[in-house]
A and B are shown apart, each in its own frame.
Chain A
């Protein structure tokens, strides 16, 4: 299918890090079923390093591929690097996404941020609130 790049199809067909996690240090869930995509990220963090990451996604091919790629990009990395991950980096790593699917990469970035925020909250770590966009409204997604 020419709809997606080979990279997207590879991560869609063989998603990396798919699954759930017992006793995760941080869990983030963004999106909503009404819009047609939900991403849930589980993080294991040791000494400020993301030692393991899992995801579950309800969504289209690019949503699954974006989640998979995003987890690959932060696995083994320090928390600060994960926090700096942008949706653009996910899109580039996937060799591009069709314009109407860019929101999937935004969702992946937000899911990771949401899981990191959960980690900070659980551990009473101070953080800059501006780093975490409020994803309640899902405006980027389908306007509902």
Chain B
């Protein structure tokens, strides 16, 4: 038996997405830039996919740039806005302390170039407010970049309101929506979003493909120089099979978004209820403003990797936080940003569901996590110290 509960890391491709890709790996193999009919057939598919994706985001086709995924889209969005700002002498960027590293590391690079970066504090519930953004904006601010929903703790940010603040101040607003697209209703116009990054493999599409939406008028800076693809803003022959798979997966996710949300939120809430019974544990991320499939806990007295390995032995695929930071010894920057002390941040568990999970699996997960946490606490010297009164608990019982 295997229960996959790590859908924030990646999802299983949907049948629809796979089938949408097959013809483009088979008969329709042309290069969209070729003038002949084989190439033009691929070009038509590309044009159509761009229109379909634009429609789903509420923007125009020419505002869509295909990328290799979320990280590239984040990089290009931030660098582009920075270059535009620089031209006007504006070199201040606002972001948050709990962004994905694709954003944080790009900002680090710009900081070394002389940009001023303000990282907003994140409240304990995993939220930033429009008021914080408003306070941080000054005359040199050229970009605000705030993630739509956090990849570890699942808290969903007030994007429309933050966008409104940015609009009022004439500042470009980018959102890393990698965890939100396909799971939450998004309309870039209605939500005052100037730039948005998304990645197909987070909504049952293929890996290695994503989108950067940039409102018309925002001139992109190339990360990859090359041919005239993507209006000259991203060189390289388009990954047509992946793009077709992404368009199909996105449409499917959007069509089922409400029914999926209801189903996922029900399983999520049961998981939260069940795991909250574990003493000295805490749910991370806002209880209400949260992705429908995200559950994230810290358990006192244990370490996350042992928990994951033992859950894997029980057939449960989970994560301690971001898959991107595994291999690092430091606790999650997201958990530190919301104020969890190091020793608590080490004992984290993220479970992210998909529509394919069942109520029975949820019950099995609850039972297994309880067993493993109890076992690991049993061999933990700090837990021993705490239950014997030699050391104070950090989390309430």
Interface on A for B, CB 8 Å cutoff? 1, 9, 12-13, 15, 18-20, 29, 33-40, 56-61, 63-64, 100, 103, 141-142, 144
Contact = CB atoms under 8 A, between A and B. Distances in A.
Given A36-B342, A57-B380, A142-B329, 7 more contacts: A1-B312, A13-B313, A33-B382, A34-B341, A36-B343, A58-B382, A61-B305
> Which 9 A-B residue pairs are closest in the complex by CB-CB distance?
A33-B343, A60-B305, A40-B381, A56-B381, A36-B346, A34-B342, A58-B380, A61-B309, A58-B382
B383 interface: yes
B214 to A, nearest CB: 38
Given A15-B379, A142-B330, A37 B342 contact: no
A90 B62 CA distance: 60
B327 interface: yes
B108 interface: no
Given A1-B309, A59-B303, A100-B329, A64 B379 contact: yes
A88 B8 CA distance: 38
A29 B116 CA distance: 44
A43 to B, nearest CB: 15
A35 B341 CA distance: 11
Nearest to B300: A33
Contacts of A37: 303
B378 to A, nearest CB: 8
Interface residues of B, number: 25
B126 interface: no
B20 interface: no
Interface in B346-397: 346, 379-384
A143 to B, nearest CB: 9
7 contacts: A1-B312, A12-B306, A15-B379, A19-B379, A34-B343, A58-B382, A63-B306
A121 B100 CA distance: 50
Nearest to B384: A56
Contact of A12 (B309, B342, B382): B309
Among A60, A100, A142, A144, find the residue whose CB has the most chain B CB atoms closer than 10 A: A60
Among A9, A19, A64, A100, find the residue whose CB has the most chain B CB atoms closer than 10 A: A64
B301 interface: yes
Contacts of B382: 33, 38, 58
Given A1-B312, A33-B346, A64-B379, A20 B384 contact: yes
Contacts of B379: 15, 18-19, 56-57, 64
Among A9, A34, A58, A100, find the residue whose CB has the most chain B CB atoms closer than 10 A: A58
A20 B381 CA distance: 9
Interface string B291-335: 000000000011111100110110000000000000111110000
B303 A63 contact: yes
Contacts of A59: 303, 306
A34 B310 CA distance: 22
Contacts of A58: 301-303, 380-383
A36 B309 contact: no
Contact of A29 (B301, B302, B312, B381): B381
Contact of B303 (A29, A60, A103): A60
A107 to B, nearest CB: 12
A9 B9 CA distance: 24
Interface string B108-134: 000000000000000000000000000
A61 B330 CA distance: 15
Contacts of B301: 58
A141 B329 CA distance: 9
A64 B306 contact: yes
B309 A100 contact: no
Contacts of B328: 100
B306 A61 contact: yes
Nearest to A13: B313
Given A58-B303, A60-B303, A35 B380 contact: no
Given A13-B313, A56-B381, A100 B305 contact: no
A20 B383 CA distance: 13
B309 A38 contact: no
